[in-house]
Amino acid sequence: MISAMHWIDYTIVVASILLAIGMGIYFAHRQKDTATYFTGSGKVPAWAVGISILATLISSVTFLAYPGSAYSGNWVLLVQGLMVPIVLFALIGTIVPLFRKVIKLSAYEYFERRFGAPARYYSSVAFVLTHFTKMGSVFYLVSMALAAFMNIDIYVVIGVLAVTIIVLTLLGGMEAIIWMDVIQGFLLIGGGLMSVFFLLFAVGTPYGPSDILSTAWEAGKISVGPFDWDFCQTTFWVMVFNGFFYALQKYGTDQTIVQRYLTARDDHQAKKAAVIGVSLSVPVWAMFMLVGSLLYAYYQLAPDPMVIDPETGLHLLKPDAVFPHFISTQLPLGVRGLIIAAIAAAAISSLDADLNCLSAIAVQDYLMKMYPHWADRHKLNAGRWAVVVAGLGAVAIAIAYVKSNGGAVLETIFAFYAIFSAGIVGIFLLGLLSRRANRKGLYVGLLACILFTAYATLSSPMKMPDGSKQALLDLGEWNFTHSKYMLGVYSHLIVLVVGYAASFLFPSERVSDDLTIYGFFRKK
């Protein structure tokens, strides 16, 4: 049951929304060229870029989903995040200078220089499809939560969020996004810390922090197991492999992160920003996992009949709904408004970056190919129109989710998107690590990847319109049964291995050392 909000809570949430719009208006007068609009003219301080990376990585879905995951299970999903600093610290010295030297704006310019235009378009289309689906999902899930908190129609919430994010991105460009991310990042961290505090020092119960923590520990809620060597379940080792490729995907092929490298003053500042972003992300992910573990312990020690049936002991709420229930029923006046504002801020900081980067991709990867002699002002205007179109497209997906009551139809559509957007990290590694790999070999690898991903996606159970789960292509004992987290691992490896092997079937191509890791080591 969501209790009524006080006007003070409403005021805090509305103020955070108006702040985002005001930030866009404040920076609007500086957006006179594409360099400023998309990269802040490369003059943003490293610490601000780092916090912006954090805010982009920590969306409001993380704010709600991570506590739900720890509440129902444990911290195994955190293993994915723990792999990020390991991979990043090993490769950041190579990746950041590479992109800052090779590309003008789009991360996928590198793919074209290394393997030709088809590789660029395959990668950029994959980015566009992936982020459209992500934006629609974020819009829907956050709007649903905010509508319940504030007792407002979900369509009104979607509309307000859409206007806020589009205005911020349209007027303020990347500078407004980064500085708003800084504010929203601190709000996000503050919201998580307040949640931990009120869970550890729960008012109205005789239990203290040691009771809460020991209960969570004894229940196995602060654990990263199981450690079985089983790829069909979500185990520690599955998340290790998934986390390795997740880190490479985010920091080596994702436009939202690569574009941040270009906003820093130089290579050193860009590397520093990436390190700051990662160093902050892992503790924040762990903090929200801790919230979920503490929620489990709290409701074990202070039973709530809305959460746990007192007679059967069954959990009555979905795991993702437990944290919102705690926020609405247990947090004091004002604090609840700050937490809800943090959820909204997390959505804004994730979606505004997506809009700006989708706009950059539209201009650099497509419009400039069709109109190579456009003046900069034409590119800037086109980028602004792209922001509006992308924002409205994400809203349309969110509304479709609402209409389909959770998106059973959309899940099927997105499954087909996934088939034709797999293996991006494999392309990146193949180009970076091998001078012998060539474009024809890559195309063979991509074909093998698409065929495998089609098989795995279509033969895996997915949500149907009636709520049941079944495969679109039921192959019986030949269905893909491994964890969904392993699908991305396999697709990247297929592109890497098959693409490299197939390259020996075709004549070698001349490749600049600047496009491979060997050029980096040669200069060293």
DSSP string, 386-441: HHHHHHHHHHHHHHHHHHTTTTHHHHHHHHHHHHTT--HHHHHHHHHH-SS--HHH
Residues 354 and 492 in one domain: no
Query: Where in the sequence is the domain holding 481, given as residue range(s)?
Result: 408-524
Backbone torsions φ then ψ of 216, nearest 5 degrees? -65, -40
Measured torsion, CA atoms of residues 492, 493, 497, 503, in degrees rounded to the nearest 10: 0
Q: Which residues contact 424 (CB under 8 A, 6 or more apart)?
A: 123, 126, 127, 249, 253, 492
| DSSP-H helix ranges across 46-116 | 46-57, 60-72, 78-102, 109-115
User: 208 — alpha (psi -120 to 50), left (phi > 0) or beta?
Assistant: beta
Residues 299 and 272 in one domain: yes
Is position 287 within any domain? Answer: yes
**Rounded Cα gap, residues 512 and 514, in angstroms:** 5
Is position 2 within any domain? Answer: no
pLDDT of residue 414: 47
Q: What is the DSSP string of 197-244?
A: HHHHT-TTSS--HHHHHHHHHHTT-S--------TTS--HHHHHHHHH
**Rounded Cα gap, residues 342 and 407, in angstroms:** 25
Residue ranges of the chain with pLDDT lower than 50? 1, 407-410, 413-414, 417
Residues 341 and 469 in one domain: no
Helix axes 319-330, 335-361, angle to 10 degrees: 130
Measured torsion, CA atoms of residues 66, 69, 71, 72, in degrees rounded to the nearest 10: 170
pLDDT of residue 310: 80
- The amino acid at residue 75 is W
Domain count, the chain: 2
CATH label of the domain that carries residue 391: 1.20.1730.10
User: 469 — alpha (psi -120 to 50), left (phi > 0) or beta?
Assistant: beta
Residues 393 and 418 in one domain: no
Residues 104 and 206 in one domain: yes
Residues 374 and 505 in one domain: no
pLDDT of residue 3: 54
Is position 268 within any domain? Answer: yes
Residues 165 and 40 in one domain: yes
Using alpha carbons, list the distances in angstroms from residue 5 to 159, 195, 305.
21, 17, 21
Read off the pLDDT of residues 229-261 as tens digits, 9 standing for 90 and up. 999 888 999 999 989 998 888 888 889 899 999
- The amino acid at residue 248 is L
- The amino acid at residue 203 is V
Helix axes 78-102, 267-301, angle to 10 degrees: 160
Look at residues 377, 403, 429 and tell me which one is the last residue of a structural domain.
Answer: 403
Residues 182 and 33 in one domain: yes
Residues 399 and 420 in one domain: no
Among residues 434, 455, 410, 441, the alpha carbon closest in space to that of 503 is found at 441
Is position 1 within any domain? Answer: no
Is position 337 within any domain? Answer: yes
- The amino acid at residue 216 is A
- C-beta of residue 175 within 8 angstroms of C-beta of residue 36: yes
Is position 194 within any domain? Answer: yes
Look at residues 373, 403, 433 and tell me which one is the last residue of a structural domain.
Answer: 403
For residue 476, give both structure tokens: 């019986």
Is position 200 within any domain? Answer: yes
Residues 431 and 331 in one domain: no
Residues 302 and 171 in one domain: yes
Among residues 183, 173, 162, 194, the alpha carbon closest in space to that of 54 is found at 183
Residues 40 and 188 in one domain: yes
**Rounded Cα gap, residues 479 and 356, in angstroms:** 39
Is position 51 within any domain? Answer: yes
Look at residues 339, 370, 403 and tell me which one is the last residue of a structural domain.
Answer: 403
**Element housing 469 (H / E):** strand 469-470
